[in-house]
Structure formats: structure tokens, C-alpha cells
Chain A
Amino acid sequence: MATQEQEKETLDSVTIRFCGDSGDGMQLTGTQFTNTSALFGNDISTYPNFPAEIRAPQGTLAGVSGFQIHFSSNNIHTAGDSLDVLVAMNPAAFKTNIDDLKQNGILIVNEDAFTPGNLKKAGFIDDEDIFAPYESRSRIFKIPITKMTLTALEDFEMMAKAKERCKNMFALGLTYWIYSRPLDSTIEWLTGKFGKKPEILEANIKALKAGYHYGNTIEAFQSTYEVPEAKIVPGTYRNITGNQAVAIGFVAASELAERPLFIGSYPITPATDILQELSKYKHHGVKTFQAEDEIAGIGSAIGASFGGQLAVTTTSGPGIALKSEFMNLAMITELPVVIADIQRGGPSTGLPTKTEQTDLLQVLYGRNGESPIPVVAAKSPSDCFEAAIEACRIAIEHMTPVVFLSDTQIAIGSEPWQLPDLDTLKPFNFKFHEDPETFAPYKRNELLARQWAIPGTKGCEHTIGGLEKEDITGKVNLSPDVHEHMTEIRSKKVDLIATKLPPTEILGDETGDLLFVGWGSTYGAIRTATEKLRNEGYKVSQIHLRHLNPLPNDLEKIMRSFKNVAVPELNLGQLSMIIRSKYLIDAKGINQVNTKPFAVSDLVDEAKKILGEG
């Protein structure tokens, strides 16, 4: 293929972002690059970023959609701080993303889209040399991607518009060439997708190959790059997003509980995928109920739980606000139901497609009365599988609603998932109560979990409800002592969950100068920062909390073994507030609410500041 030898440079890791108009196919392009890299053997981490509008006006800043891939020959835990390569399909994409490009990074733009009209839509002034400020600090390739695509497809009997739509394949082919990626998995994918439309299939393949050969031919690139396979733990892998992993986790939990899965939900970004995914699994006995609103979603789930199913509802922050009254009903009736909160930027409608960790205090405290509800958080896309199972396990074994926390970054981000050995998953330990002689609705076991007798069980007829009740019999009783006793019992029941938790895992030494305490999607960034600091000789360790209520019993002791405790969160300091009030430990917040994940470099800098060396 190559007419002359090109230099090939080997790199550890590379971060690319494809961005363009929401109709430009950037999510698809990114996904293809991801799958190819995963199959090639790199470790990968991705982060799509798209507008809240489905089709914002073409060419505008609001309509820019992006997909970021970090691929490496090492183990990686984030989608990358800054970009080695930015592919910008129009001026708006260029404008909104260029600041993330590294010094000396590669900028590839579709020259054809930089028309006066598009420049104006992106807010550039006439005759402005928009690339000038970046020429000294980046390698700019202005490529007529649209024209080249149309030329490549000259012989095809298709509408010009349809031909133009193949331009994302041209861009993909070009990046494949730069990073020495094989084309076959994308060709295979195209064949599966367009098998019944041979013309479109051929056009896409032609555009992909044209992009690949273009890189080879024009000699503009001084060298190509190679990112070798990563040393990955042996096993079988697939690429997975957090929302997919939650859905599969719920199905797994349903098998472990030997109860059918019922999901009552209302569509909301970024949680909708879970309902959509589970709707595909009817043949697994999954019942999906798209309710009339958020309230009905959880109401139906609570009804299904009363009826003896593994019941879940999925939502985001605004939906939690609506579900709160029902969460309290599940709490006081002590019924198992999992409420998955896929957090997004708030407050109010806020930033529906952006990421934040701002619902922690809402799920812990956003209800009337004393209302303890366990909270479990996932730390990465693939971790959602185990975290979802854990949430269901706690719900059923302890007879309580449980909140499962994820966020946009995890929900739509993806990473390779080492597929678990399903035989090692532990069945849930519970059974329905069927003996009328020993039955009382609020009679409890050693974990304080109440007896669960489902309608249809002869002789165990009983009524539950939201009014205060006395223990054991469950009879309505509003007297002072009963209320105090029940309040304490409900609180103690949640505290007892901590006795069942494994010791908290510490990355690094058990003592030192600084301990990062994190939760949720910040795991990868904190872990990478911890590794960097340790490599530089700092005595830094990391713990990452799966359980936010109850907190692990060994947490205080671990924190007290470090001179400093830092709590990085994508909020204004929610977990740090809890740690400070609960343990009287001077935890320092590292906080960010700019809709972006933490940059590793920022965490490193903040840690150094805390250590007095920043």
C-alpha cells in the first residue's frame, strides 16, 4: 500500500476526540474507533459528550456532539485529560473543543465545512484567521473531507446528500491510518448494519478506505503511530457502557434472587437507556412498565415488590425529587425496591446531558421525617454490573429501598468489561414467609429485616401503609414511645448493613500523608492521580466508597491513619460535609462543578497544595 516508508512512532497512550454537528455521525465514528482499539488489545476508556437538543440548528455551537476515546498500552482509568488529536468537522466543533487540545497536538478539520455561513453560525467574525492563534502550538491539517468523500463516491448512483453522509467514515479511515488500526472490524460492522442496502454499504466502505489511503498518499503526516496492546488481565472482555451494565446487573440480580425482574420507569436523560435495554429482555421474563410519570414508575415498582418481585425504578435527579414521597413509603413499609439515580447536571432541569455528583445529599436526606435509605455507588461503567447486584442484594436481604447512584459519565461512557464467572455470584439469602403460625408483618430477623409474606399466601393476610405502626404486629400506632422505637429500629437496620461489608480496599499504603476518599465516577481520575503521586514519591493512598449509607465501619480508622484526608467530588462538597460532621475529621474538599470529569493533573496539583508543596 505505502509507496514510501513512513516513520512509525510508538506511543503509550493517545486521546482522540471526534466532534461535529449532531447529525455528523460522531458518536458512531467514536464507537467504531473504540471497538477497533478494544479488539486490537488496547485498554480503552471513552466519554461521549452530546447536546441536550436532539437536532439543534445545524452548524451552531449548541449542536456540537463529541466522542472522546483514550486508548493505551497501559491500564487506564479515565477518558483522558487533554487531547492528542482533535477531529473537528465544522467551525462550531472547532470553537468549542480546541482549548482541550494538547501543546503540539494534531488538529484535523474538514476544510469544506469552514464556509462563511458556518463560520458566522459559530460566532466567528468575517475574514478572521481562526487558525492563526493555534498554528504555533498545534499541528493543523485542513483537509477537504467532504470533497474527497464525494470524489471517492463519484461512480455511485446516490443522492449527493447521502454521499456526503459518508464523510465521517473518511475521517475515521484517516485516523485509522494515523494510528495503524485495522479496518476489518468496522467493515464487518458496516456489513451487518447495511447488509440489505448494498449501495450504502459499499459507499461507506469506499469512504473509509479513501480516508485511510488519503493519509498514506498526501505525505502531510511525517509519521504514523502505534499504540501496542495493553497488558490486560487474561479473560474474556466486551466493551460496555454503564447503563448497559446496570441493565444486565439487574437481570443477574433477578436470577440470584430467583424472582422475576419488574422495572417501572419514566424516560429521563441519562437513565432512559436502562429502561430501553431491559425492554429487549422480555424473553428473560423481565417486565418493563413505562409509567405515566416518575411517581407512577416507583409506585408500580413498590406494588410489584409487595407482590414479591425484584422491583426497580430508574431515573435522574429531577425524578428523585418526584419519587421522594414513594421512597419514604417503601422505607416505612420496609419493602425492597432499587431506585437507580443516574445523576446529571442540576439544579432543576439543569444540564440534562452533562455529568455531576450533586444528588448525594438529596438521596440521603431529601425526604420528610427520619428516613434512612441505603446508598450504593458505582465507580466505572463496567462496575455498574456489580454495584447494581449489590443494591438489589441489600434491598432484598435487608428489606429496604436502596438507592443506586451512577452519573452521566459512567452511564454513557464505556470501557472493556472483564466478563465475570457467573457461577461465582452468590445467590441472595432470603425467603418468603409462608407459615401463618409464626407470621407477623414486622417481626424481624437478626438483621432486623422484617418478614416478607406476599399476597396469595394463605393465612398471612395483612395490611401495610405509610402511617406509623408498632413493631411486630405492624398495627397503626401513633403513640410517642412507639414512634421513637420504630425510628430507632429503622435507623439501626440500615446501620447493620455495615456489619456485612468486606474491609475497605486501600490503593497504596495503610498510612501516609494524604488519603483520597472518593465515590462514583471520579474513581478513574483519582486512581490515576494517586498512581502519579506515588510514582513521584508522595505518600498518597486512595479509597473509593461503594457504600455511602451506611458508611463502612473501618472508614474512620483508615482516615485517621493519614495526616490529610481529601475528598474530590463533582459538587460543592457533599461527602466531605458528611465526613466532617460524622467523624469530626478535617476532610478537605476538592470540588468542581463545570460539567466535566476531573482532570488528573488538577487532582495532582490539588494534592500537592494540601501537602504544602503546590
Chain B
Amino acid sequence: MSQVQELTKADFVSEGDVKWCPGCGDYAILSSVQTVLPTLGIPKEKFCFVSGIGCSSRFPYYMNTYGFHTIHGRAPTVASGVKLANPDLSVWVVTGDGDGLSIGANHTVHMIRRNMDLKVLLFNNRIYGLTKGQYSPTSEQGKVTKTSLYGSIDNPLNPLSFAIASGATFAARTNAANPKHMQETLRAAAAHKGTAFIEIFQNCNIFNDGAFAKYLNKDTKAEENLFLETGKPLLFDGETKGIIMNLDGGKPKLSVEEADPANPGVSKSGNKFLIHDPSNEDHTLAYLISYLGSISDPENPAAMGVLRAVNKPTYGEMLHSQEEEAKSAKGTGSLKDLVYSKDTWTVKETAKA
């Protein structure tokens, strides 16, 4: 690492113009990524950004790294190939709620369950922007758009719940309008080995302006954001409230209770607040936390930060070790052995020729 030449944010800025709409949340994400990458100790040529189609997927053009703007929904497949071909690269997938959860949801599931060593930035603006404003799989029910004039009847999907249910070893949420938090989250993702999935709340100021306003509004942000800290109780709203788990007819359920100022970590009803542990192998609790504050659960705050970070072998590591095992068991294969394998016969010159 010491030989790596000092990199700065400017090294990651490409020379062309950035062509997102003025005021788009994507600018902040680009800037945060360009801020974090030089701090990771990875040479610039080892980064590769792979995207699908959509506003978010123009991202690789704006990065001065290796990049591949692929086709709609399929970035995880190309990124998997890039990473398996070159295990020492740091490969990032940039996708959106339409690209990654609608047309490409299948690939997102399989990338995650395989634990491909990829960093995944899912820009969630709850709308189709590049095609000019149709509802997306994360749009709320009842949303009126150009293709849902009477209100969308689709049930929305929660990206983090989707990722965790798919077996994500790393799942986090951040907000494009909170650069400090986003950069911390990006660093945590970069440090993770395996699929690191980040949902980024991102405002589309043209077609879905204000979708995440309540998380930023001065008056509401304290009660709407549940910032997660490892080893700390799940508290929010100036630590006046917290999350407890109880059983509702045998079903685990998270609820908000008011904190007891005289008794830290305990609610006024005497329940202990949950302590955040992203390394918990079991993903049940992470799943429940991911669901808090979702479109279907608007009364509760949304968890922000790293919900889950567990250590498991990556697909690439396992593929590599199988190859090594095969080589040590059979010896490195030679083409000659393969062609001239068993069951050959020889026709001699003298034979009736």
C-alpha cells in the first residue's frame, strides 16, 4: 500500500461534462464516491464501475476509472464476470430502483446470494427518470404518474428487505443529501468482502421531488432517521425514543417506545431497547429493521447506516480454491493429455494403406 501514489478526488473526475439534471441527487453521490475512493489505498487502475441503464447508470462515464455502461438490468452479470476474471479489482455496480429491482431484480438476487465481491450502489428515487416519470417498483401505492393516472396499484418493494432476504452479507442505507453519512457508509462497504449492497435515498427533483424530504426537513429529520451504531441501542429523536422487540402472537415485531431518562437503554415501559449488531449471522432482526419506516410502515423512522455486515466466503474465493484443489489433485492440466486421453487407437501406415 505504501507504494500507491497519493490520489486525490481530482484523479477520479473524468474530463467530460456531467449531464444529469441540475439539482439531481446523483451529483452528491458522484462527489462522495470521488471523495472516498482516493482514501482506500487502492490504485486508480484497479477500480471498475459497471452500470445498467437509467439516470444512475451514466455514472461510469463521469468517473476517471475503468467503466462499463452495459444494458438494462444486467450490470450484476457483467460485473460478476469482470471480478471473476480479475479478482484483484475493486468492482462497483451502479444501479437504480428500476434497473436493479425491476428489469434486473433476478440478477440482483443471484449476485447477492452468491456473495460476489462487488460494491453495489442502488440509487433509489422511487421513479423512472430517464424515460420521464413512470412509477417504479419502489413507488408508493396510489402514486399518480404518466402511466398510473389513477394511482399505482403495484405493491412497492423495499430494496434493503429484498437484499437481506436474498442473503446479503452487507446491507446499508444512506441518503444522497447527507454526504458525511454516505461517505462513512461507502467506506464500510469498501471494507467488506463480498456483495456490499447500499440503498441510497436520492431525490429526483424533476419527476419525484421531495420523495425523501421528511428525512431532511429540519422539523422532522430527528424522528424520521434511525441512525445505526454498532453496539449502541437503537435510539432516535434525540435519544428520546427507541426500538424494542416484542412478540405479537408469536411473531417478532419491532415497536417504538419512549426512552426512560432515568434508565439508559430501557423504555418507559421497562423494555430493553435493541442493541445494534450488524455481525449477527441470523438475518431475521436485520430484516425487521430494514422494514422500519418503509413506504408500508410510514409511522416509524427509517434505519440509516449498516444493517448487516457478516463475514462469509465470496463466490470468487470459492471458485479459486476449487481450481487450486483440482490442480493439486490432478496436476495442472495439459492440452495434450486432454486431446490424447483414454480410448484412443492408432492406425498404422502399413494397415492396408
Contact = CB atoms under 8 A, between A and B. Distances in A.
B347 A303 contact: no
A300 B346 CA distance: 41
A455 B348 contact: no
Nearest to B86: A307
A237 B346 contact: yes
A295 B74 contact: yes
A229 B322 CA distance: 45
B333 A463 contact: no
B66 A461 contact: yes
Contacts of B219: none
Contact of A248 (B45, B327, B338, B348): B338
Given A299-B81, A454-B86, A462 B335 contact: no
B6 interface: no
A580 interface: no
Interface in B318-353: 319, 322-323, 326-327, 329-333, 335-336, 338-341, 343-349, 351-353
Contacts of A466: 69-71
A457 B330 CA distance: 33
A296 interface: yes
A284 interface: yes
Interface size class of A (residues with CB under 8 A): 35 or more
Residue of B14, B50, B74, B351 with most partner-chain A CB within 10 A:
B74
Contacts of B79: 303
A476 B67 CA distance: 13
Contacts of A540: none
Contact of B86 (A299, A311, A456): A456
A292 B105 CA distance: 12
Given A455-B86, A463-B60, A326 B347 contact: no
B85 A307 contact: yes
B67 A463 contact: yes
Interface stretch (A33-41, A122-130, A403-411): A33-41
A71 B329 CA distance: 39
A262 interface: yes
A304 B82 contact: yes
Nearest to A466: B71
Interface string B65-92: 1111111001011111111111011000
B46 interface: yes
Interface in A211-234: 229, 231-234
Contacts of A476: 16, 61
Contacts of B65: 461
A198 B133 CA distance: 72
Chain A at the B interface: SS class: mixed
Interface in B284-338: 319, 322-323, 326-327, 329-333, 335-336, 338
A474 to B, nearest CB: 11
A237 B81 contact: no
A313 B68 CA distance: 19
B265 to A, nearest CB: 44
A232 B80 CA distance: 47
Nearest to B322: A282
B260 to A, nearest CB: 49
A420 B339 contact: yes
A325 B77 contact: no
A465 B349 CA distance: 56
A296 B74 contact: yes
B160 to A, nearest CB: 21
Interface in A415-434: 419-420, 422
A38 B345 contact: yes
Contacts of B193: none
B84 A304 contact: yes
B66 A463 contact: yes
A251 interface: yes
A285 B332 CA distance: 8
B253 to A, nearest CB: 33
Interface string A278-315: 00011111010101110110111111111111010000
Interface of B: 14, 16, 43-46, 48-50, 60-61, 63-71, 74, 76-86, 88-89, 106-107, 109-110, 319, 322-323, 326-327, 329-333, 335-336, 338-341, 343-349, 351-353
19 contacts: A262-B84, A282-B323, A282-B326, A287-B323, A291-B110, A296-B77, A296-B106, A299-B76, A303-B81, A306-B82, A306-B85, A307-B81, A307-B85, A455-B46, A463-B60, A464-B69, A466-B70, A467-B69, A476-B16
| A-B pairs with lowest CB-CB distance, top 7 | A303-B81, A299-B77, A465-B69, A307-B85, A463-B67, A284-B333, A300-B81
